[in-house]
Chains A and B, each alone.
Chain A
Amino acid sequence: MARRNLLLILAGLLAAAGSPALAGQTQVAVAANFTAPAKEIAAAFKDKTGEEAALSFGASGQFYAQIQQGAPYQVFLSADADRPKAAVDAGLAVADSRFTYAIGKLVLWSKSLDLAKGDETLKANAFAKLSIANPKSAPYGAAAIEAMIKLGVYDPIQPKIVQGASIAQAFEFVDTGNAELGFVALSQLANVTAGSRWLVPAALYAPIRQDAVLLKTAADDEASKAFLAFLKGPEARAIIEKYGYTLE
């Protein structure tokens, strides 16, 4: 009897493993800067539709590399527009599903330095370590480099830069005090009162247009399409704006 039950459980597990995702559930790859709002949106989505969005967080470049290798995500919320576009061009994503869900803002943040005049703090260069996200895989890291170049401070600061694998790790380096300051996403500071922050002027970096896209594997998946529709809707937009993003 016990053995039969075990077999049934095993069969159930195998069946679950064989299907790409459970019905009523969508697998979403979320750029790390959008972690907090994505959690709130997923909760609101579940309240409203009863369907579940399972979220994975990481650097956009990391997700794109994984999606190219057939990672079982169904929706991709990137921190840029380039990678969702590349996914469409490579036939990995549904072309007309792509849209900009948020426009991100870059912030310089410190727990030990006064950043009332952040550009002057950068020019004074009186710190040991500045953290950014890996500019090759995380758009916020690339924006940070761009802003420092435009301010003319990149060359002297460059040896002091430490890189996190994603914007979440760049934040953590400042949060633990291991880096005195760092470039993070404004959304990461939504629930943070500690330290001093300087909103990087929009003129210093190209707008961080964050695009969402439906992946080809989920072209007919109702839960995934419902999640993207919800992301465009008023409830999600209110959450996104609350975290400091602008919308189109």
Chain B
Amino acid sequence: MTTGLLQPIALTIELATVATIALVIIATPLAWWLARSRAWWKEGIAAVVSLPIVLPPTVIGFYLLVVLGPHGPGGALARLWGAQTLAFTFGGLVVGSVVYSLPFVVQPIRNAFAAVGDRPLEVAATLRASPSRAFFAVALPLASPGLLTGAVLGFAHTVGEFGVVLMIGGAIPGRTAVVSTTIFDYVETGEWGAANALAAGMVVFAFVVILAMIAIEKRFAHRRP
């Protein structure tokens, strides 16, 4: 395999790893709140988080281009280190990936927290565990299969991202040219051998991810109440 093919693969893995870490950090407290809160407007927040499931990537890409650009908050942030825009940067792709994949991570974690229920937390409270200790020592371990599912889905969904990257990436080798957009470029320019090598790799990857999801499901099935 040539370095031409390895570069987008390495970049894609790097992007998916960073995005997954960010996703789990953001999604876990959000999912906890969604699962436990009694606020009447929480389903409104849940709906906002879920928007990327329905919206075409072009809508997300378009708004990200505006938000990350020099006239949006992304541009204001970028000026802190003398840049103009967050578009066309690795950081911009991470932001895009987090927005785009958030519902796929929040949903399984929220379901897992909801399945834990009130009872183990009440028991923890009677044993004088503080709320934060109850969360880290009881709720989080019980919900760990949901976290694992969310992380795998977030990683896979980021790898499979195309439209958003195409719109805010600028196809810079080694920085924003990920596997999915590189396949697009190869197909557009008639380099089908290279396109096929990457595309076949994606098929294998997707197959492994789905098998892993099934394995997680089976492994933890007996823990369900």
**Which residues of A pack against B, CB within 8 Å?**
59, 61-62, 64-65, 68, 112, 128-129, 131, 134, 136-137, 161-165, 169, 172-173, 176-180
Whether the Cβ atoms of A165 and B166 lie closer than 8 Å is yes
State the main secondary structure of chain B at its contact with A.
loop
A64 to B187 Cα, complex, angstroms: 11
CB of B185 within 8 A of CB of A178, answer no
Number of A-B contacts (CB under 8 A): 70
Instruction: Provide a sorted-by-A list of 25 A–B residue pairs whose CB atoms are within 8 angstroms.
Output: A59-B188, A65-B187, A65-B189, A128-B84, A129-B85, A134-B171, A134-B185, A134-B189, A136-B185, A137-B185, A162-B88, A162-B176, A163-B172, A165-B166, A165-B171, A165-B188, A173-B170, A176-B66, A176-B71, A177-B75, A178-B65, A178-B70, A179-B85, A179-B88, A180-B84
Contact with A61, one of B71, B87, B189 (Cβ below 8 angstroms): B189
Task: Give the residue name and chain of the B residue nearest to A69 (CB).
Answer: B187
* Cβ contact within 8 Å between A137 and B88: no
Residues of chain B within 8 A (CB-CB) of A179 are: 85, 88, 170
Shortest 7 CB-CB contacts between residues of A and residues of B = A162-B170, A177-B70, A136-B189, A163-B171, A178-B87, A178-B85, A137-B188
A122 to B120, CA, bound (A): 66
* A180: B residues at CB distance < 8 A: 84
* Interface residue B83 (Cβ < 8 Å from any Cβ of A): yes
State whether the Cβ of B159 lies closer than 8 Å to any Cβ in chain A.
Answer: no
What's the minimum C-beta distance from B96 to chain A, rounded to whole angstroms? Answer: 13
| Distance in angstroms between the alpha carbons of A92 and B85 in the assembled complex | 43
Instruction: Please determine whether A178 and B190 come into contact, CB atoms closer than 8 angstroms.
Output: no
Kindly state the separation between the CA atoms of A173 and B64 in the bound complex, as whole angstroms: 12
CB < 8 Å neighbour of B68 from A64, A134, A136, A178 = A178
Most central of A137, A161, A162 by chain B CB within 10 Å: A162
Closest to B191 in A: A136
| B69 in contact (CB, < 8 A) | yes
Q: How far is the CA of A165 from the CA of B189 in the complex (A)?
A: 11
Closest Cβ–Cβ distance, residue A167 to chain B (whole Å): 14
Interface core residue of B65, B170, B185 (most chain A CB under 10 Å)? B170
| Interchain CB contact under 8 A, B85 and A64 | no
Residue on A nearest B187 in the bound complex, by CB = A65
Set A131, A136, A137, A178: member contacting B69, Cβ < 8 A: A178
The answer to whether B188 and A134 touch across the interface, beta carbons within 8 angstroms, is yes
Given the known interface contacts A164-B170, A173-B170, the answer about A178 and B188 at a Cβ–Cβ threshold of 8 Å is: no
A165 cross-chain contacts in B, Cβ below 8 A: 166, 171, 184, 188
In the complex the two chains form, is A65's CB within 8 Å of B190's CB? yes
Which B residues are CB-close (under 8 A) to A172? 65
Q: Which residues of A contact B84 (CB under 8 A)?
A: 128-129, 177-178, 180
CB contacts under 8 Å to A, within B156-179, are 166-167, 170-172, 176
Which chain B positions have C-beta within 8 A of A131? 170
Name B168's closest neighbour in chain A (CB-CB).
Answer: A178
Which B-chain residue is minimally distant from A136 (CB atoms)? B189
| Complex Cα–Cα for A136 and B182 (A) | 12
Contact check: which of A128, A169, A176 meets B83 at CB < 8 Å? A128
Q: Roughly how many angstroms separate A61 CA and B184 CA in the complex, as a whole number?
A: 12
B170: which A residues are within 8 A, CB to CB? 129, 131, 162-164, 173, 179
- Whether A161 contacts B85 by the Cβ 8 Å rule is no
Task: Please give me the residue from chain A that is nearest to B166 by CB atom.
Answer: A165
**13 more CB-based (< 8 A) A-B contacts, given A177-B70, A178-B88:** A61-B188, A61-B189, A64-B190, A65-B188, A65-B189, A128-B84, A129-B88, A134-B188, A163-B170, A165-B166, A165-B171, A176-B66, A176-B69
